[in-house]
């Protein structure tokens, strides 16, 4: 079975400051890793994904994440945040094989940007 832990429920940062949202996962098999963003009163939008290959993946809106197998982590980073990045961010995993593409989500990190 897989599980996802997002270590921070809330992260406040000032506009134009860098940010890192932490994510650790647990799995006995190899997994795909994702970060989703949820803006207020909206559904989920895929920010980026790691399937295989290069451990540094780049996504939309200037976000990037690094897969670290030894630490079972997939932390999300942005060098300079904007007010529009205010949202809930979810780290997620799914097994690479299996017809039921069940995605397991973490509990989310609320990113609030201060002007």
Partner 1 sequence: ETGVTQSPTHLIKTRGQQVTLRCSSQSGHNTVSWYQQALGQGPQFIFQYYREEENGRGNFPPRFSGLQFPNYSSELNVNALELDDSALYLCASSLIGSGKAYEQYFGPGTRLTVT
Which chain residues interact with partner 1 by CB under 8 A? 4, 32, 36, 41-46, 49, 51, 90, 92, 94, 96, 98-108
Q: Which is nearer to partner 1, 98 or 115 (CB)?
A: 98
Q: Which is nearer to partner 1, 15 or 72 (CB)?
A: 72
Q: Which is nearer to partner 1, 48 or 81 (CB)?
A: 48
Name the minimum Å distance from CB 81 to partner 1.
22
Q: Please name every residue paired with 76 in a beta bridge, in sequence order, or none if there are none.
A: 21, 65
What is d(CA 50, CA 47) in angstroms, rounded to the nearest whole number?
11
Q: How many CB atoms lie within 10 A of CB 28?
A: 7
Name the minimum Å distance from CB 98 to partner 1.
8
H helices, E strands: number in the chain:
0, 12
Q: How many CB atoms lie within 10 A of CB 26?
A: 13
User: In the numeric block, which tokens belong to residue 83?
Assistant: 């007010």
Name the minimum Å distance from CB 75 to partner 1.
17
């Amino acid at each position: 079975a897989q599980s996802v832990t997002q270590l921070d429920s809330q992260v406040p940062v000032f506009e134009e400051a860098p940010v890192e949202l932490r994510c650790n996962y647990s799995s006995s098999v190899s997994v795909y890793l994702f970060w989703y963003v949820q803006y207020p009163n909206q559904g989920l939008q895929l920010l980026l994904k790691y399937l295989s290959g290069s451990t540094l993946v780049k996504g939309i809106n200037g976000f990037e994440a690094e897969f670290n197998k030894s630490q079972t982590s997939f932390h999300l980073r942005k060098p300079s945040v904007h007010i529009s990045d205010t949202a809930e961010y979810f780290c997620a995993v799914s097994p690479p094989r299996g017809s039921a593409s069940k995605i397991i989500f973490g509990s989310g990190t609320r990113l609030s940007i201060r002007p």
